[in-house]
């Protein structure tokens, strides 16, 4: 059985003044390529239904998107903030907190990385170009986000062991980044040129990886596909343990 990987959905606006709930195909295709069964999790306000979603999934991908309300980490908003829809933000944090409470494997990408950090009590750089002296262009809004920069990976980390390298070339599409890591999060990768945090992992956890780049666009490259394959392996183990 291929493990079920839940992917949290976006909230958009239709022509009929009703929300559209969707997920980008790149996330779905990356899970399929890695051997998992992708399932979109629509943002819902019903906690009991959200708990059922968590129970049904063996692993999760927490996807990218706009910005978190800075009030969640005790700050006022920077002028560059582009807020998440409230429906999605409330749901995402409830989902992430419950998935972590149940120790389910996850891969958190871009905004998802930042949400995991804030959910665990961390804070964010609200705008890299206002707060950090850097020549690296981290914010590339035109899909497929293929402008690259180099990332250094910490030796002895789960990420380093998974990839088998001490560095790699990544794409980039973010104007925010982790400032203070949340409880239990270990910084395991940084931008080689400016030290911006590019990946964290949750310590003493089956597979809790939060990365700032967008590997779902790069799964034709084995190193980036390994991130999804690692999630699927951990989710398979979770499924087998649940069956026992």
- Told to judge if 216 belongs to the known catalytic residues of this protein, a careful annotator would answer yes
Residue from 175, 216, 224, 238 carrying the catalytic annotation: 216
Instruction: Give the Cα separation of 67 and 6 in Å (integer).
Output: 21
Residue from 57, 89, 110, 201 carrying the catalytic annotation: 110
Q: Name the packing angle between helices 25-34 and 222-243 (round to 10°).
A: 70
Q: Which residues of 28-40 are buried (b: 16+ CB within 10 A; e: fewer)?
A: bebbbebbbbbbe
Which residue in 48, 79, 86 sits closest to 65, CA to CA?
A: 86
Secondary element (H or E) of residue 141: none
- Told to judge if 214 belongs to the known catalytic residues of this protein, a careful annotator would answer yes
Half-sphere exposure of 9 (CA within 13 A, CB side): 17
Q: Do the beta carbons of residue 160 and residue 188 sit within 8 Å?
A: yes
Q: Do the beta carbons of residue 68 and residue 89 sit within 8 Å?
A: yes
Tell me the sheet residues that pair with 222.
none
Secondary element (H or E) of residue 81: none
CA 114 remoteness from chain centre: 7
- Told to judge if 110 belongs to the known catalytic residues of this protein, a careful annotator would answer yes
Residue from 138, 149, 214, 224 carrying the catalytic annotation: 214
Report, as residue numbers or ranges, the catalytic residues: 110, 214, 216
């Amino acid at each position: 059985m291929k493990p079920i990987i839940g992917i949290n959905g976006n909230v958009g606006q239709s022509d009929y003044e009703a929300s559209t709930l969707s997920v980008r195909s790149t996330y779905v295709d990356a899970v399929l390529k890695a051997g998992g069964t992708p399932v979109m999790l629509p943002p819902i306000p019903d906690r009991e239904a959200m708990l059922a979603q968590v129970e049904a999934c063996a692993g999760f991908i927490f996807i990218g998107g706009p910005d978190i309300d800075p009030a969640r980490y005790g700050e006022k908003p920077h002028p560059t903030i582009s807020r998440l829809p409230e429906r999605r933000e409330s749901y995402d944090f409830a989902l992430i907190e419950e998935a972590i409470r149940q120790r389910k494997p996850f891969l958190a990408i871009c905004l998802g990385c930042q949400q995991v950090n804030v959910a665990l009590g961390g804070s964010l750089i609200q705008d890299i170009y206002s707060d950090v002296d850097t020549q690296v262009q981290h914010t590339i809004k035109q899909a497929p986000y293929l402008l690259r920069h180099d990332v250094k990976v910490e030796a002895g980390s789960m990420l380093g062991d998974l990839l088998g390298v001490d560095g790699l070339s990544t794409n980039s599409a973010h104007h925010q980044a982790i400032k203070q890591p949340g409880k239990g999060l270990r910084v395991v990768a940084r931008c080689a040129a400016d030290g911006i945090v590019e990946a964290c992992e949750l310590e003493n956890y089956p597979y809790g990886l939060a990365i700032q780049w967008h590997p779902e666009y790069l799964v034709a490259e084995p190193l980036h596909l390994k991130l999804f394959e690692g999630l699927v392996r951990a989710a398979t183990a979770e499924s087998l343990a649940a069956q026992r």
